[in-house]
Structure 1
């Protein structure tokens, strides 16, 4: 049978995560004869190769390629996977992440039905603190026959997660990953997407990004200075591509506005850095590259707040730049005021010549009102007339993908919700107003304040609605998504004979005991369990067991 999908997985020292990664592929709701998973090991010196080899006889879709020499980045392993791929579509998966068993197969089916060159699904990031959505602008609705490089901000999310692309697009155009310590994804997908003519998108989760603290990557090890030096090379490579006008605008806007303005300067790390001169030198090098190609960087900046930063840098007004960035990075703590139904940052006198900085949309919860013989939750909105509200959702605290769309009415600058609708929600939530198709605005509890001599005490900026039936609102349970070699018991637990926890042993594990772990298995609902060296099963919940690092 002809393969429909090739999943390419570069591997280097990912023994802790590989089992979860491989099992996520096996759990895909798709005929396994239609897929192949090409794991390319870049000379791992841990147990990664052994783990993959242990699955080769178990899963026919699994293939392993072992590099002869370590290359130091995912680029060459991914290129080997592309060359070997037999599927109509290719998707890339990092060995520490996992695929969504329902969402990815549906996206593949959608792409195939519409003969899409490229398809975008939703990526979900997992940390100890919360589960959040990434890159909403690439997958905010179900749609087909889109021009991919005309999707707004499409190049603001240019990593592998959540994308499938026709193999022929890559092979016929000889598109390969170039070797960089950082940013090879950006150059690859800018070129690849520019060659596509027909795109699909879907808001379903298709890819899960592992950003738990135990996971380390080249990106995490690369400083902002090193990243920006790579971005200089990538900028020049993009300029050499001779992209269509609309594609070039989106690509250069992303690189200039995001990489050389927002990430380089609009951060507290810039304010704290002892050698700011190196930041200014990198910016000047970017200008020099643009000048060689007769490009004016100012033409590619879309946000007013970044236009100000650009102008300060052009004028070399570094003291003003420092004060301005300090103001922006205050975020919710910055002094603000209302003017013409919009929220403005209160600018100090020496910055008032700048383009005013405004909140695109701001919403404040005004409580429960008795209106027309019924109780209504009232939200005051502050925005200009061009901002369009699409929907209102209740978004679970710490777990963004779990949301419930609710009916609403809008009259002027107010949104009204039925109180009963909110009371029926069975999870703790924020109210999230989605505007201009995909942009979220979480409802606040406090109005802006610009008083110079007094400060409004704010415990939390967002309105959080807690379910009274619960004894306490808490973050979702965090589990080990990989196999720790040894754990220490930090809360009372039991040992079980089965992963579903139906048959408990009589042996109680004491707090402070250490347990050697030999495997990780998953319940029918996908909950991880740890397998001890005695063949028994214990919880993988990090609230009960902690990893022991020797």
Structure 2
């Protein structure tokens, strides 16, 4: 079994050695490794460091290209160049635990899963944990909470990506993982977890010489790219209509819990908040959410109705009313929110 580790690199001169060393020293051994580094037009010494490693290790391949401004194109280049049975996407400022690929290989042998997610360890940042707590070691995507980890730092069967032509969008730079992941999850036979070993170290470097993409301020348009592209990707899935509706339902569940929270709590400009809210309103209509409306919880139904029928201030009023004592009322044994539109929608 051969593992391709794909690493997009842009101005990572301060971290790329640690990253590469963590792969070179994997306990699976060099005969099972293929490392493809795509230098995305770095202006620091990253390219020289990559060439140095390539000259030293025969299983490292380096591709130099002009800057694309996002990880999507370098990752796609790596998919096309890969020859391994499985491919892992590693960022140049992160690194793997020494036994990461060995632990994942054990899950492949045990379950033959198309996707393996290794436990994350955060360095100066939080990491996804819900998927490891709420699922067995091997599970199917439908009915799971897999969409609460949508980053590409996972191990994928390369045949899955090739067969279904699953690639990263190349025209935006934040959240481009989401359209890729929704397709990979949807077409996967199963997902396996490594719960008991820190496979991937996700870092937030305080001084790395550049601003990490995830730390740059977001515009409303940039925020919505990921959502619009992901919903469009679901619409294009070559699956039966009932399966697609289930995936739409799961993704809107994520939007209710993650993206709406970011909309309300993050420091967007007010015009960006309004832009996002109005775009979400259009997306509900475009993708006919009423076709799978009955599957949502009562709270999610109310949030969806507030987006459909109300304005941004109605959503924010309800959001904060939930969190403050005295902002809910009880009638006939049922609890209703006090804000006017939320109350009327909940009542009916």
- CA drift at 1:183: 2.8
Secondary structure, aligned partner of 2:103: helix
Alignment match, 1:64: 62
TM-score w.r.t. structure 1 length?
Answer: 0.54
Alignment match, 1:450: none
Q: Residue by residue, what CA displacement relative to the aligned partner does 1:243-296 show, whole Å, maximum 9, x if unpaired?
A: 345653453234434337742466223797356532332123213421xxx443
- Within 5 Å, which residues of 2 pair with 1:100-249? 100-127=97-124, 132-138=126-132, 143-144=137-138, 146-147=139-140, 149-150=141-142, 152-161=144-153, 163-179=154-170, 180-204=172-196, 205-214=198-207, 216-221=211-216, 223-225=218-220, 226-244=222-240, 247-249=243-245
Q: Decide whether aligned partners of structure 1 residues 26 and 152 sit closer, same or farther in structure 2, where only a CA change above 3 A counts.
A: same
User: Aligned equivalents of 1:271 and 1:15: distance in 2?
Assistant: 32
Alignment match, 2:305: 311
Alignment match, 1:29: 27
1:93 aligns with 2:90: yes
User: Aligned equivalents of 1:174 and 1:325: distance in 2?
Assistant: 39
User: Aligned equivalents of 2:183 and 2:321: distance in 1?
Assistant: 37
Q: Decide whether aligned partners of structure 1 residues 245 and 104 sit closer, same or farther in structure 2, where only a CA change above 3 A counts.
A: farther
Q: Which runs of 5+ in 1 are unaligned?
A: 338-343, 357-550
Q: Which runs of 5+ in 2 are unaligned?
A: 328-333
Check conservation: 1:138, 1:157, Cα contact below 8 A.
Answer: no
Check conservation: 2:246, 2:292, Cα contact below 8 A.
Answer: no
- CA drift at 1:242: 3.6
Q: Decide whether aligned partners of structure 1 residues 141 and 92 sit closer, same or farther in structure 2, where only a CA change above 3 A counts.
A: same
1:77 aligns with 2:69: no
User: Aligned equivalents of 1:42 and 1:90: distance in 2?
Assistant: 19
1:335 aligns with 2:309: no
Secondary structure, aligned partner of 1:296: helix
User: Aligned equivalents of 2:8 and 2:237: distance in 1?
Assistant: 26
Check conservation: 2:104, 2:194, Cα contact below 8 A.
Answer: yes
C-alpha RMSD over aligned residues: 3.3
Q: Decide whether aligned partners of structure 1 residues 57 and 185 sit closer, same or farther in structure 2, where only a CA change above 3 A counts.
A: same
User: Aligned equivalents of 1:140 and 1:306: distance in 2?
Assistant: 20
User: Aligned equivalents of 1:214 and 1:185: distance in 2?
Assistant: 25
Alignment match, 1:531: none
Check conservation: 2:6, 2:90, Cα contact below 8 A.
Answer: yes
Higher helix share: 2
TM-score w.r.t. structure 2 length?
Answer: 0.83
- CA drift at 1:10: 0.7
Bigger radius of gyration, 1 or 2? 1
Relative contact order higher in (CA < 8 Å, ≥ 6 apart) = 2
1:14 aligns with 2:12: yes
Q: Residue by residue, what CA displacement relative to the aligned partner does 1:156-179 show, whole Å, maximum 9, x if unpaired?
A: 212112x21211111233222221
Check conservation: 2:97, 2:200, Cα contact below 8 A.
Answer: yes
From 282, 295, 302, the counterpart of 1:285: 282
Check conservation: 1:126, 1:210, Cα contact below 8 A.
Answer: yes
Check conservation: 1:232, 1:285, Cα contact below 8 A.
Answer: no
